Structure 1
């Protein structure tokens, strides 16, 4: 259900940006570090939205990669801890006792 709401908000946001961009088609001056150029405002708006999406997606991918790396390390540590666990001797009481059986 969460994915459906996310998709709905994404489509709504894209529609608002598209309408806003189509309304603003007059050329504007874009200043760069090394010069300036005339661009239609629609391209500036869409380019800004696209670059924002690329940046957000990149940050998300880096976070996913870091979480996967942490998960892999923790899974490896857990497997090592379970492999090193010594079997219980008869002198040590078990932490989990079985309930008595009824005859």
Structure 2
């Protein structure tokens, strides 16, 4: 439904630009940095609209690529954490089968950093 509304708004905008440019067909001077020339105003308006659409399309594609990359990295992180949860659930099931009650552990930030460092093959860094 959202796509249909966007398409409708885009179509209305295109019709407005087309009507506006057909009404303005006089030749106008276009000043470049290196010179000046005359073009029909209809071409100037349509070229400006086309360049604006292309620029917004490039920005949208760049944003989509960046978001896609972020989603993939978050999915990888989620898979790692899900496997860690599954491992811990298996260990808990083994403890419950054997009747052993594990001691409660308090996990601190330092412990988390050590565990992360061990998984990434880095030395743990102590921070204050």
Q: TM-score range by the shorter chain?
A: 0.7 to 0.9
> TM-score by structure 1 length?
0.83
* Cα distance in 1, alignment partners of residues 13 and 47 from structure 2: 15
Corresponding residue of 1:46: 46
Work out which of the two has the higher radius of gyration on C-alpha atoms and give 1 or 2.
2
Paired residue for 1:65?
Answer: 65
Q: What TM-score, normalized to structure 2?
A: 0.68
The CA RMSD over aligned residues, in Å, is 1.2
- Could you tell me how far apart the structure 1 residues matched to 2:83 and 2:30 are? 63
Structure 1: runs of 5+ lacking an equivalent:
93-103
What is the alpha-carbon distance in structure 2 between the residues aligned to residue 69 and residue 6 of structure 1?
25
Instruction: Give the whole-Å Cα distance in 1 for the aligned partners of 2:84 and 2:50.
Output: 51
User: How many pairs does the alignment contain?
Assistant: 92
1:29 counterpart residue number: 29
Q: Which runs of 5+ in 2 are unaligned?
A: 103-128
Matches of 1:3 and 1:45 in 2, distance apart?
26
Structure with larger RCO (C-alpha < 8 A, sep 6+)? 1
Q: Runs ≥4 in structure 1, deviation > 4 angstroms?
A: none
1:84, CA displacement in angstroms? Answer: 2.7
